[in-house]
Amino acid sequence: MTRDELTVFCAALPQATHVVQWGNADVYKVGGKVFAVIGMGESGNTVTFKASEMAFEILSDSPGLRPAPYMASRGLKWIQHYDEPGLPDDSLRDHIKASYDMVVAGLTKKKRSDLGL
């Protein structure tokens, strides 16, 4: 997926917000919590997302994917798609949506209610 396609996908998720942080990275949040970062890395063509423990273990060793620098080194389960072959577009969208869902699930009931989620 191109950076533009990724930003369109992330922005379309319910109650997603966008800020530019860390240089030129597009950071997508829900309820004030990050679920995806697009463009952080040497090439600027990366996408970083939260992963379940199982997905983190599987994806960490896949070509074009790695534990996200900075985030994973702090014990967080985040994956960075940084090179080819990486994930097919459909699978990448599924993992970003799963990241979004994990973040939403971690919000308080009141916050989810306030957001209509």
DSSP string, 45-68: --EEEE--HHHHHHHTTSTTEEEP
pLDDT of residue 73: 66
Domain tally, the chain:
1
Structure tokens at 24: 């030129």
Greater model confidence, 30 or 23 = 30
117 located within any domain: no
Give the domain CATH number at 78: 3.90.1150.30
Burial-class residue 110 by CB neighbours within 10 Å (0-12, 13-18, 19+): exposed
Is 114 among the domain residues?
A: no
- Which residue in the block uniquely carries the two structure tokens 């459909």? 90
pLDDT in tens, 27-67: 999 999 999 999 866 655 789 999 999 999 999 989 999 99
Question: Hey, CA dihedral for 46, 115, 51, 89, is it positive or negative?
Answer: negative
Spatial contact of 19 and 27, defined as CB atoms under 8 Å apart? yes
Has residue 115 been placed in a domain?
Answer: no
- pTM more than 0.75: yes
